[in-house]
Every structure is written in structure tokens, then in C-alpha cells.
Structure 1
Amino acid sequence: MKYVILIVEGSAEPVPEDASVSTALEAAVLPNLAALARTGRVGAAAFIPEGCTPDEEIAMVSAFGIEPLGAGITRGVLDAISQGVDIEPGSVVASVELITVIDRDAEGAGEILEPVSIPEREAVGLFDDLAAFWRGRGRNVAVHHVGGRRAVLIESVGHSFRGVRTEVPVLGEAFDTLLPAGGIPGEADALAALVRTSHEFLREHEINLARVEQGLLPANLAWVTQPSPRPHVPGFKERTGLSACVVDRRGIAIGLARLLEIEAIVAVEVTLGDLARIAIEAIDTNDVVIVRITNTPLEAVDSEFVGPLLNRLFSEGNPEVQPATSAASSGFASGWRMLVMPTRVVDKNGMEHNDPVPIIMAGAWIRAAVLRRWTERDAAQSDLFVRHGHELMEYFLFGGLTRRPTRSRNRRFKNEQS
């Protein structure tokens, strides 16, 4: 069996209360995806656990079949791994974001204004100098820029930050009311000291002084969140018995793939046609191919990517008509399955929501009694609803199959009757 998972970020949005108003997904003309929906099942999945903010890393971890709340897989961990930054045993990695605060008094207490838009060159300069400043104060830290206003901080020795709670920056709040708290005595204070001293240093940095002179907002505080060691999670093949490959132009999906010991292909500055060819080649050597496409017109994705990919999958044959042949030795019927989905709902203003997302599952032994379109409204009416999104991967890979690879007690894999 060959499996393809297409993650199309930015394709779903909140359903308007006015039934006469269409979402972008409802208005799009998508002949290949429409055909896939007709032959398979349309439903919904909730990748953001109840009560959680719709963070990208939570949704992505859930989509890869891992319960996100207990995994310890933070944004900083994924950013670091995606950039090839080593997280050595005993080290802690945290996310760092440049923001703007307005000083309220001589002591430097400040009100959070907003995350700042800053050129890469300036961000790298600020992060490099800030890391040197912190090291000069006795902290064993390294800061690695990962893009835009974001970086990861690695602290090698001295602090575990175990149990420390961090908050996201809140517009209009005083930053000193949102500093780290809890955990082992002294650990929250040590993390908070990085935030406070970053403001002391950055507000006087020449880059920020020049920005102020130009009428631009200064990047005068480094907000540090989610300190964590490198988590120990089973690899994808260890969990499923299947080989896999992830194709993405950039982003945390690459970091997650490497964490889960999945082959990762970074496909930057490529067309959708190029991306389709890369995915098709990956199908030849892997059981599961996961492709993530972000902020790309759906019509183009449908015609330039989905069409060629389906032609390749169709060559695997239909096991409901043709008995298993070459794949029989591995315990699987021949054939294919495809899953199409976003991981989060995003409104027209770019705000993420924790609503369930519409999905399509199609391929071998996947059929629906009611035909539905791949839209937010149709998905909400379907009886296919995966309340705990991390369970979708298992259902997609093995639902309805009589055999699957499982891990034996000696940690080897074998084909075993389910």
C-alpha cells in the first residue's frame, strides 16, 4: 500500500454565519480534489486539543499521530532541529521572539506593543550581540536565528527550567506581569532574567537606535518561551512499521520529520510541478509520503500537484478489483490511500482558530454512504469526525485493513494479523 498525506495550510476558514456567503474552499474549482471526495470520505478532524491555543506546532504534532500535550515537542525544539542545531544531552532549548515594548518608567518596565517586523540582517545582528551579552554575564547560551524575528536559545549547563511556565506576549500588557513562573525554586527567575536583561541591552543597541531615528519600531526585548530538553519520542517507523518521507519548502514539519527519524526533503524555490515530481519519486522508495504546501492558491495545487500525483497513485491499482500481487509478500494488499487536509482553520485576517478542519480520505477500502464536497460546511455535517486529531494517522493508515506491520516485544517489526 502506498500512502500520501497532503497538508494544505491556509485552505480552511471559519464558516460564515450567513449561509449565502461562501468560503474560499467552497468557491474554488478543484476538479481533482472533487473527484477524490466523490470516491472517498469527507469529514473533520480536531488537531488542536480543547482549551489549547491553535499553535502551529501543536497542530503539526497531532497531525503526525502524536498526542501533543504529553509529548514535550515544543516550537523551539522543532525550529532547532529543522535548522540542524544540535541539542546535546543536558541542554535546554527555548523559543525567542523579538518584540517591541514601550518603557513606562526609569526602571524600564514596559508595556508590550507588538511583535516587530524586522529585516533578517538586523535580526541576526541583534541575536548575535544579545547572545554575546548574555555570555558575558555568565550564561552558557547560544542563540540561533531561524527566520524573521524568531530564534532558538540553547542553554548548555546550569538550568533545567523543569516545571517553569511561560506565557505568550499579550498586546497592551506590562511584560513584567507575564514573566516565567513556577517550577524548581530559582529556575523561573533565571529564565526571567534573560528577558529582563535583553531589554536592558537591546533598547540601547545601535540597530534599535537607528530604527527609532528612522521612525521604525525598535526590537527592544527578547521574549523567551517554552524551555525544554530534546524529547524522546518513538520514530515513525517504530510506531507504524512503515517507511516515510516528508517534503516541505521550509518550516517545522522538517524538524518534526527529523525528530521522528523520517526522511526529510527541503524543497525551496520550487514550482508545484517540481514538488509533484519530488513527491512521486519519494513514493517509489517509501510507504508514506507527507507533503506540506502553505499559502498557495488551491486551484494551482489541484491542477499542478494533485493531478500528477493521482496519476502516479492510480498506477498502484485498485485492490478491491485486482487482488494483491507484488505487495502480498509484505502482508499488504496492493493499492493506495490519500489524505488531504489543513491542520488549522485560518480566517481572512490571518488569525488561527481551533475549529476542526475539513479532510478527505480516499483510496483502498474507503467509501462513504453520503457524497459530500470537501468544504467546511459539508465536513461539519459528516459522521466522520476525529475528535482527537492525533488518532487520525492510525485510522488513515490501518483502518479497514486485515493486516498491518506491528512491533514485536523484542522491538523488531513483523507482519501480524490484527
Structure 2
Amino acid sequence: MKYLLILGDGMADEPIPELGGKTPLEVAHKPNMDRIARDGKCGMMSTVPDSQEPGSDVANMSILGYDPAKYYTSRGALEAISMGVPFGPNDLAYRCNFVTIEKGKMKDFSAGHISSTEGKELFASLSERLKDFDVKLYPGVSYRNVLMLPSGKGSVTKAPHDIVAEVIDPYLPVGEDADVLHRYMVISYDVFANHPINKARVAAGKNPANMIWPWSGGAKPAMPAFSEMFGKKGAVISAVDLLFGIARCAGMEIVRVPGATGYLDTDYMGKAKAAVATLKGDVDFVYMHVEAPDEAGHLGSVEEKIKAIERLDEAVGYILDNFDGCVMLMPDHPTPIAKKTHTRDAVPFAVLGLGGKDSVSVYTEKEVAAKGEYGSVQSTDLLKIIFSQK
């Protein structure tokens, strides 16, 4: 038996008034997702422990079977590992967003989804200004970067996507690293203010990347290999460093897909084809992660979230037509349009290919919660349950 888990990041939602009290999953045309639910078995899954923030890092790690309370250190650390950043025993890695600050408020947590090329140039200018400081900057994909403190002590930080439209002062870092992080943030504001990249972005009607925002800093995690835990060779398909970081820590193969962007315009079908092709080799389990529904949720765009679900469904159709094995479908957490951020509510999952079916007829939050035969499942137990079935 081979297994393919399709993860629609942030795909679950809450009833939306403008949709007549329905969710995007209830409104979207998604015959292939509905087929998985109708012909398989479903359940509701809790992915975030009460003691942790409802982040994609914690949720995806737990779905892969790793208890976040035991193995999670920070998002910054996972992304640094994915990027191949040198990681010493006393180093702390912080995720570092390009953001747009306007009148003291967080206007845009992604600086208009700035391009990787623009971001690299901005980071080069900032690194030159900070060359005499005990800090190292590593540009990543789009607005997602890493700030490494060689002698970091730790700080309490806030994810910028959680404070859009809020005054930033109450959410600045606090703790032992706070003073140096504040200093770098102020310096970045000065360096970026009249930078040619930002002048060009403003002239084009785009949000400028006028400051860095360090958050979720931590030390290098130590995790057992996925193959040791489950006796199966695994692979991860994604477009974001977070998932690749988890994969590296878990000793899983990383599959990069040309055209996969981690945004609404990602190559959904390219990921589906890569997943099917990978499973034709010696890989037993593929984790196919699609970021787009989450990005739409953070934007608060009902239209884009429905579109992302429908485009993912087309890719699901290709998988169902070309893969003869166990197919799992789920979000990692809800990213409700109304809240524009993650919540810890349970999410619906569906499993096809292990025999039997329940009475679920469509893949929606309400239908699965009411009729799913798996009932309520903890995410860290999911793969144990699935792999134990014949």
C-alpha cells in the first residue's frame, strides 16, 4: 500500500454571512474532494495542543506524527534548516518577514508578497548596514526570511499575520533578545525608507517592504526519522521553507516543483503530477502541501479562497485518476475569512482506499462532523491509525 496525504493549508473556515451562512468548502465546486469523502471514511481532527499557538508549523508537524510539545522549537528554526542555514549549538533562528508599517500599524504582513529577487536586494543592503553587529540575515522565498542570532537567548514574539491593521507597539518582541531585535527593526526601517526597490514598488502602487519583523525564534530541533517512526519512506511536496524544514528534520525526501509559489498562483496540477510520479518510485508516503487556501484566508478574500479550493480539486481529480492507493485529504487548521488568521478548531479529514465507507456525502466541515465514522482524532495519532489498517 502507498499513501498520499493532500493538505489544503487553512482550507477549513466558519460560516460566512455573504455566503448565506455557508463556508467556502460548502460553496466551492469540488467533485473530487466530495468523491473522497463519499466513497471513503471521514472524521474530525484536532491539530493544535491547547498549550501552543495555532500555527502551520505546529499543525503540520503534528499531522506527520510528531508531538509539538516534545519536538517543536520554533518556526524560524524549521525554516532555517530548510534553507541550509549554518546552525550552531548556541544559535537561535527567527523567522523574519518583510512587512509594511503605516502610521504605526501593521498594514501588510507580506509587504505585498514582495518577490524573492526584490527581497534579496533589500536584505543585501540591510546586511551591509549590520555587518558589525552579531546577527546574520538569510533571504528566503518572497517575504519569508531568516534572522540568525549566534548568541540568542529568546524572546516572546507575535506573528505579523495575526496583527494586521493593529498598532504594532503592544506586539513588539519582549524578553532577553528584545533590545537587539528592536534595534535591527529600527535600522531596517531606516535602510528601507528610501531604498530604490521600495521607491519602485510605491511608484507601481505596491506596498513597500519598509521594515523587518522577527518572530518565532528557537534552537535547532532534534526529531526522529519518519522512517524510524513508521517504517515507511516519506516525501514532502511544498513551496514553503517551513514544510521543507520539517521534512529535513524528519529525514524525508524533498520534492520541489517548478511553478510552485506558496501563493494563490501556485502550480496545483504540477504538484499533483509530482506526487503521483514520486509514489511510482521507492517512496511509500507523500505529503502534498498546498499553501494557497491559507493565503486567501489571511487576505480575507472569500472569492480567492473558493478559487483556491476549486483549483486544488482539479489537482485532486488528477490524483484519483492516476494513483491507486490510499488518499487522505485535510486542512492543517482553519484560517477563517472573518478572522484573517489561524484558529485551533478541529478540521475535517477524509480517507479513501482502505475499504469501507461511512454516510458522509460531501466534504464539508458540518457534514464530516455530523457523520464521520472516525469521530474525533488527535492529529499525532492519525498516521498510526491509517498505517495500521489493511
The answer to whether the superposition gives a TM-score over 0.5 is: yes
> What amino acid is aligned across from residue 125 of structure 2 in structure 1?
D
Match of 1:49, SS state, is coil
Query: Does 1:148 find its partner at 2:138?
Result: no
> Per-residue deviation at 1:200?
4.2
| Displacement after TM superposition at 1:76 (Å) | 1.9
Q: Once superposed, what is the RMSD of the aligned Cα atoms?
A: 3.3
Task: Indicate which of 335, 341, 351 corresponds to 2:330.
Answer: 341
Residue deviations 1:227-250 (CA, integer Å, cap 9, x gap): 212111111112212111122344
Q: Does 1:168 align with 2:159?
A: yes
Matches of 2:319 and 2:165 in 1, distance apart?
A: 49
The yes-or-no answer on 1:12 pairing with 2:1 is no
1:14 alignment partner, SS class:
coil
2:95 equivalent to 1:99? no
User: Which runs of 5 or more residues in structure 2 are unaligned?
Assistant: 261-266, 293-306
Aligned to 2:181: 191
Contact 1:250-1:268 within 8 A present in 2 as well = no
Residue 292 of structure 1 deviates from its aligned partner by 2.1
Distance in 2, matches of 1:225 and 1:126, equals: 19
Of Structure 1 and Structure 2, the greater helix share is in 2
Q: Is the alpha carbon distance of 1:362 and 1:241 closer, same or farther for their aligned partners in structure 2, counting shifts above 3 Å?
A: same
Q: Rg bigger for which structure? A: 1
Match of 1:374 among 358, 363, 372: 363
Q: How does 1:156-235 map to 2 (within 5 A)?
A: 156=150, 159-162=151-154, 164-169=155-160, 170-171=163-164, 175-183=168-176, 187-203=177-193, 205=195, 207-208=197-198, 218-235=208-225
CA distance 1:290–1:198, shift in 2 (3 Å): same
Q: Partners of 1:217 and 1:26 in 2: how far apart?
A: 33
Residue in 1 that maps onto 2:323: 312
Q: Report the secondary structure of 1:269's partner residue.
A: coil
Q: Who is 1:39 aligned against?
A: 39
Q: CA deviation at 1:3?
A: 1.5
In structure 1, the partner of 2:130 is: 134
Q: Deviations over 1:373-413 (max 9, x none)?
A: 21111122135344532322222222x46xxxxxxxxxxxx
Q: Deviations over 1:16-58 (max 9, x none)?
A: 4799654343344544443332332122112233375442222
Task: Return the match for 1:292 from 289, 293, 318.
Answer: 289
Q: Return the letter of the residue paired with 2:323.
A: R
Paired letter, 2:147: L
- Tell me, yes or no, if structure 1 residue 48 matches structure 2 residue 40: no
CA distance in 2, matches of 1:281, 1:217: 39
Offset of residue 133 of structure 1: 1.4
| Percent pairwise identity | 25
Spell out, residue by residue over 1:161-198, the C-alpha distance to the aligned partner (whole angstroms, 9 max, x if none): 24x21223445665454333235xxx433333323333
> For 1:171 and 1:36, how far apart are their aligned partners in 2?
36
Q: CA deviation at 1:79?
A: 2.6
CA shift for structure 1 position 257 = 1.2
Corresponding residue for 2:300? none
Q: Structure 1 residues 366, 255: closer, same or farther in 2, change over 3 A?
A: farther
2:138 aligned partner, one-letter code = H
Instruction: Give the match for residue 302 of structure 2.
Output: none
Q: 1:79 is matched with which residue? A: 79
Query: Counterparts in 2 of 1:243-322, with a 5 A limit?
Result: 243-269=233-259, 274-284=270-280, 285-295=282-292, 297-299=308-310, 301-309=312-320, 311-313=322-324
The DSSP-based 3-state class of the residue aligned with 2:130 is helix
Alignment of 1:324-403 (within 5 A): 336-348=325-337, 351-354=340-343, 355-365=345-355, 367-368=357-358, 370-382=359-371, 384-386=374-376, 388-398=378-388, 400=389
Alpha-carbon spacing, 1:300–1:112, altered in 2? closer, same or farther (3 Å): closer
What residue ranges of structure 1 are gaps of 5+ in the alignment?
104-109, 314-335, 402-418
Q: Secondary structure at the match of 2:123?
A: helix
Could you list the per-position Cα deviations for residues 138-166 of structure 1 after superposition, in whole angstroms to 9, with x for gaps in the alignment? 32x3212212233111233xx2324x212
Q: Kindly state the Cα deviation for residue 261 of structure 1 after the two structures are TM-superposed.
A: 0.7
**Deviation digits for residues 180-225 of structure 1, max 9, x if unmatched?**
3235xxx433333323333344446455567678886553322111
Q: Secondary structure at the match of 1:358?
A: strand
Structure 2 CA distance for aligned equivalents of residues 28 and 230 of structure 1: 40
How many aligned residue pairs are there?
363
Q: For 2:357 and 2:152, locate their aligned partners in 1 and report how far apart those are by CA, in whole Å.
A: 50
